[in-house]
Structure 1
Amino acid sequence: MPILVDDIMKLLCSISQERKMKAAVKHSGRGALVAGTVAFVGGLVGGPPGIAVGGTVGGLLGAWMTSGQFKPVPQILMELPAEQQKLVNEATAIIRSLDWTDAVQLTALVMSNQAMQQKLLAMLTTYVTKELQAEIRYDD
């Protein structure tokens, strides 16, 4: 059966939407850089106690910089047309044993199989955090 990119992307969007996944892509690196820089400066100025204070202040500042920058993961996935094939290849390795005709049937099959759902979610989480260098948050 031919693998349809749109079907698998719709499946990944459904899984991430059900888990209410959001990710901060653009500013998470900047927040980490600020946290590290402030800790470094604190260490230069105040020695070991300065590192502790600088790390705390830098961490809070970095967190503040990335707050509000979270977007839903399905939106992020659909904005990555050049990288969708890599995701599809990884997801295909997980769902290879399934037989489906369209995205609706594929989604129903996966949503009824908790183990497969967890594998796809882990693959998606790894992709977003490692490839996109994003921070993930789950809204409850």
Structure 2
Amino acid sequence: MPISVDDVMQLLCHLSQVKGMKAAVKHSAQGALLAGATALLGGLMGGPPGIAVGGAFGGLLGAWMTAGQFRPVPQILLELPPAEQKKLYDEAVVVISHLDWTDIAQLTALVMGNAGLQQKLTAVLINYLSKELRAEIQYGE
């Protein structure tokens, strides 16, 4: 049976919810831009010492501003644009393509009943979140 992108997203959402996965997506480009802008402003106002003070202040402010708030992974997955969902789908379908199932409930039951499949799909999910979204992952409530 062909596996749809929506079915795989539902499966990954269920798996990540059971595992209690949360992720914080960091926006490092915004922090770097802020640090550079405050260094420039400090340099214009105070010369070379102003660059140091502005850069340090901007770096701290940028780090504070871009520290992501942890959100449930299912929420992050459902908010992904279709192209990103397809990337994740392509990686996950390799793990589950050999399974024989009729609907998403049966597919979910097959995966949740097999620790090896859970581990492989969790690894795919962690790899995607950390490499593609540069997210920090946390487990538990």
Aligned counterpart, 2:4: 4
3-state SS in 2 of match to 1:139? coil
Q: CA RMSD in A?
A: 2.6
Q: 1:26: Cα distance to partner?
A: 3.8
TM-score normalised by structure 2 residue count = 0.71
Question: Following superposition, which runs of at least 4 residues in structure 1 exceed 4 angstroms of deviation?
Answer: 30-33, 61-65
Query: Partners of 1:21 and 1:31 in 2: how far apart?
Result: 25
Aligned counterpart, 2:94: 93
Aligned counterpart, 1:47: none
Query: Partners of 1:95 and 1:65 in 2: how far apart?
Result: 35
Query: Partners of 1:95 and 1:77 in 2: how far apart?
Result: 18
Conserved in 1, the CA contact under 8 Å of 2:31 and 2:65?
Answer: no
Aligned counterpart, 2:67: 66
Q: Greater Rg, structure 1 or structure 2?
A: 2
Aligned counterpart, 2:78: 78
Query: Partners of 2:21 and 2:31 in 1: how far apart?
Result: 21
3-state SS in 2 of match to 1:83? helix
Higher mean C-alpha displacement, 123-132 vs 2-11? 2-11
Aligned counterpart, 1:21: 21
Q: Percent identity?
A: 57
Q: 1:82: Cα distance to partner?
A: 2.5
Q: How many residues align?
A: 118
Query: Partners of 2:127 and 2:31 in 1: how far apart?
Result: 19
Aligned counterpart, 1:51: none
Q: 1:113: Cα distance to partner?
A: 0.4
Deviations 1:76-102 (CA, angstroms, capped at 9, x unpaired): 001113211111111110011101111
TM-score normalised by structure 1 residue count = 0.71
Higher mean C-alpha displacement, 83-92 vs 111-120? 83-92
Aligned counterpart, 1:124: 125
Conserved in 1, the CA contact under 8 Å of 2:31 and 2:66?
Answer: no
Distance 1:2 1:24, change over 3 A: same
Distance 1:32 1:134, change over 3 A: farther
Query: Partners of 1:138 and 1:104 in 2: how far apart?
Result: 24
Deviations 1:34-91 (CA, angstroms, capped at 9, x unpaired): xxx9xxxxxxxxxxxxxxxx9xxx89x9479626x11110000011132111111111
Query: Partners of 2:8 and 2:129 in 1: how far apart?
Result: 16
Flag structure 2 segments of 5+ consecutive residues without an equivalent. Answer: 37-55
Conserved in 1, the CA contact under 8 Å of 2:26 and 2:66?
Answer: no
3-state SS in 2 of match to 1:88? helix
